[in-house]
Structure 1
Amino acid sequence: MARRPYDLLFKLLLIGDSGVGKTCILYRFSDDAFNTTFISTIGIDFKIKTIELKGRKIKLQIWDTAGQERFHTITTSYYRGAMGIMLVYDITNAKSFDNIAKWLRNIDEHASEDVEKMLLGNKCDMADKRVVSRERGEKIAQDHGIRFLETSAKANVHIDTAFYELAEAILDKMPSNADDGSGDTDRIDPNRSGGGQNKSLLGGGCC
C-alpha cells in the first residue's frame, strides 16, 4: 500500500461574525488569492493544505463557518472535531469585536477542552477605518490565555504566520510518538484526495 503523503492531520476551524473576512483569510492561505466579492459563506466550507513543520508533513483541514445565527446548529457541530480554532474579528467593526466573548463561550460549550485558540484582528490594512485598537485585541487574548495577531487577507499580512503558529502549538502538545492525526478522519473528511481542493457542503463564497 502506498505511503500516506502526510504524517499528521490537524483539523482547524475559523469562527467569527459574518463579514469579518474568514473566507478571505482561508483563501489567502490555501490559494494565495484574494477576492473582493463579499458573499457570505453558507453553512460550512473547507480547504486543505499540507505544510512542513519541524520535519513533519502536516495536512491542515481548515473549516470555514458561517457567522450568521441561523447556521449556529450546523457550525457548532464542527467544534468537537477541531484541534485548533481561529476567532476572527474586523478591526473596523466594533460589534464583531464585542461578539468575540460570545464566540469564546461557544468554544467552551462545544469544543474539546484542550483545543488551541488564536484571536485574529483582520483587515489591519484599513488603518484609516480602525475602531478597535490593537491593545484591546491584545488584552482580550491575554485575559483568555490565547495567541493574538492582527492580519490582512488583502495585503497578506501575518496570514501564513497565523496558521503556522497555530499548527505548531498543536504539534507541541502531541505525544512525541504520534504518527498521525487521522483517528476520525473518515467522519468529517469528505475530501480524501488531499491537495488544494475545495469542498463546499452547503454552498459558499468569499468573506
Structure 2
Amino acid sequence: MANMTFFGNCSWLETQGNVQIQGKTVVAQIWDTGGQVRYPVITNGFYRGAIGAVVMYDITKHKTFENLDKWIRELKEKADNCVCIMIVGNKTDLMRRMVSTEQGRTLAEKYGSSFMEISALDSSDVGETFDKLLVDIFKIQTESEKSDSSSRIVLQENKGQQNQASHCGC
C-alpha cells in the first residue's frame, strides 16, 4: 500500500510491505523523498531511525554521481550508525551513459555498500534491488541479534509472532 504525502512543493512516497527472508517475514517501510532538499527539517526526519537507504544517481548525468559523496556523508551523519546503504545507478534503458558500471561499483566498494543498476522506466531490476537491500539489512540485524539480542527490524515468525527490539547494536 502506498501513500503520497505533500508539503508545500515537497512530496514523498511511503509504502509498506512484507518480504519473506529465511522463513521470517520482514516488514519493510520504504520512503522515497525524490531527492527533495528544499525542506531539510523534513528530510532530516527521514534519516532518524533509518536502517537502510538507497542512494541513487542518474547514469546519464555525471553530476548526480559526483553528488553521491555528499548524500552518503549526510546519511552517515544523520542516520543510524549501522545504516545499510545501497548505491543504485538508474536509467539503464538509455543509451547515453556518462557513468560506467565500474565507477558505480568502485564507489560502492569505497563505502562498503551494495551496488545495483536499474531502469525505473521499464522496472528492470527494481524489485531485485529492494530485495537485496532487505536481505543485506536482515543479515546485519540478525548478526547483531546473535551478538547482543537487539534488532531494529520487525521480524515475524511465520506463525504470526512479532518481535521488534529497540536499537541496532551494530
TM-score for the superposition, normalised by structure 1: 0.64
Query: Which residue of structure 2 lines up, in the alignment, with residue 181 of structure 1?
Result: 164
Q: Does 1:158 align with 2:141?
A: no
Per the alignment, in what secondary structure is the counterpart of residue 39 of structure 2? helix
Task: Provide, for residues 22-81 of structure 1, a one-character-per-residue CA deviation record: whole Å limited to 9, x for no partner.
Answer: xxxxxxxx78xxxxxxxxx82433111111111111111001114233122211221121
Partner of 1:44: 12
When residues 166 and 137 of structure 1 are mapped into structure 2, their CA distance, relative to the original with a 3 A threshold, is same
2:115 aligned with 1:148: yes
Displacement of 1:183 in angstroms is 4.8
TM-score normalized with structure 2 length:
0.77
3-state SS, counterpart of residue 121 of structure 1: strand
Alignment-derived partner of residue 135 in structure 2: 168
**RMSD over aligned Cα, in angstroms?**
2.2
Moved over 4 A (4+): 176-179
For residues 63 and 121 of structure 2, what CA distance do their matches in structure 1 show?
21
Alpha-carbon distance, 1:112 to partner: 1.0
Residues 25-44 of structure 1: matches in 2 within 5 Å? 42-44=10-12
How far apart are 1:167 and its partner, in Å?
0.8
Distance verdict in 2 for CA 1:52–1:62, change over 3 Å: same
Contact 1:43 1:75 in 2 (8 A): no
Bigger strand share: 2
> Are 2:80 and 1:112 aligned?
yes
Give the direction of change, closer, same or farther, for the CA distance of 1:43–1:74 in structure 2 (3 Å limit). farther
Higher RCO by CA contacts (8 Å cutoff, separation 6 or greater): 1
The 5 Å alignment of 1:1-207 reads: 42-126=10-94, 128-174=95-141, 175=145, 179=155, 180-181=163-164, 183=166
- Letter of the 2:28 partner, please give it: L
Distance 1:88 1:96 in 2: 8
* Fraction of identical pairs, as percent: 33
> What letter corresponds to residue 40 of structure 2 in structure 1?
H
Q: CA deviation at 1:139?
A: 0.9
Aligned partner letter, 2:14: F
Determine the C-alpha separation between the residues in 2 that align with 1:74 and 1:173.
27
Report the Cα distance in structure 1 between the residues aligned to 2:56 and 2:88, rounded to whole angstroms: 5
Conservation of the 8 A alpha-carbon contact between 2:36 and 2:43: no
User: CA 1:47–1:134 in structure 2 vs 1: closer, same or farther (change >3 Å)?
Assistant: same
